[in-house]
Amino acid sequence: MKIQSVFDDSFATYGQVLEGYDFTELLDTLAANSEKPEDSVIYVPSVDVLESTAVYQQLRDHEYGGMPIQIGYCNGTNTKLNCYEYHRDSEIDVAADDAILLVARQQDIVDGKIDSSKTEAFLCPKGTGVELFATTLHYAPCSAKKDQGFRVIIVLPKGTNEEKPDITPKNAEDAMLRARNKWLVAHPDAPEAKDGAHVGITGDNVDIIDSI
């Protein structure tokens, strides 16, 4: 798979690089307060010490227009797509290590399914923050080099990824609701599929191991 850059014009379909922020304190705090598993991926939605950094208020007021937000992280080692998720709002990712983002468009989900060939890969260099638009499908970041892990800050509206609301389905999209403000489509080979997630990614489960 071709690895593009978040600085390429082609990324404009999916998001934009953030400018004007100093992420040094945030990333130093992440490094001091989180692990980086060598054989798995961990996600923590909200972390007090990260939300105590100066950039928290800046991201809340500038990027989310004053709406309540949470700052957490996704760390680990990974080369596979496995799933796609989306939210009703943009997600901000800030890379503490070089990381690769696998993305696609929500508009390409048809009848609850999307072919994995719609996937594109973008390198987000260490220290770079990006906004992923609400219609951008994404999931856990991938390692940028073989056998090397990543740490990535994840910023979302407060409450995202908490317990799924108890609803009576009204339409096909409701079948994809996996958690609060989180709609998910899984590949049949993904662990999430075995855990009851909506299966809708067709084709190969994208693996970038031969591209890094």
Residue 148 lies in a domain: yes
What does the pLDDT look like over 186-196, one tens digit per residue?
Answer: 999 999 999 99
Residue 173 lies in a domain: no
Residue 185 lies in a domain: no
CA distance 160 to 88: 10
Q: What is the pLDDT along the chain (212 residues), one digit of tens a residue?
A: 999 999 999 999 999 999 999 999 999 999 999 999 999 999 999 999 999 999 999 999 999 999 999 999 999 999 999 999 999 999 999 999 999 999 999 999 999 999 999 999 999 999 999 999 999 999 999 999 998 999 999 999 999 999 999 999 999 999 999 999 999 999 999 999 999 999 999 999 999 999 99
Residue 196 lies in a domain: no
What does the pLDDT look like over 138-179, one tens digit per residue?
Answer: 999 999 999 899 999 999 999 999 999 999 999 999 999 999
pTM as predicted: 0.97
Residue 171 lies in a domain: no
Tell me how many domains the chain contains: 1
Residue 83, domain extent: 3-159+204-211
Residue 56 lies in a domain: yes
Predicted local confidence at residue 72, as pLDDT? 98
List, as one string, the DSSP characters of the chain: --EEETTSGGGGGTEEE--S---HHHHHHHHHH----SS-EEEES--HHHHTSHHHHHIIIIISTT--EEEEEEEE---B--EEEE-SS-EEEEESS-EEEEEEEGGG-BTTBEEGGG-EEEEE-TT-EEEEPTTEEB-S-EESSTT--EEEEEEEETTTTSSPP-----SGGGGGEEETTEEEEE-TTSHHHHTTPPB-EES---B-GGG-
CA-based nearest residue to 123, from 139, 105, 145? 145
Residue 191 lies in a domain: no
Q: Which CATH number does the domain housing residue 16 bear? A: 2.60.120.10
Residue 166 lies in a domain: no
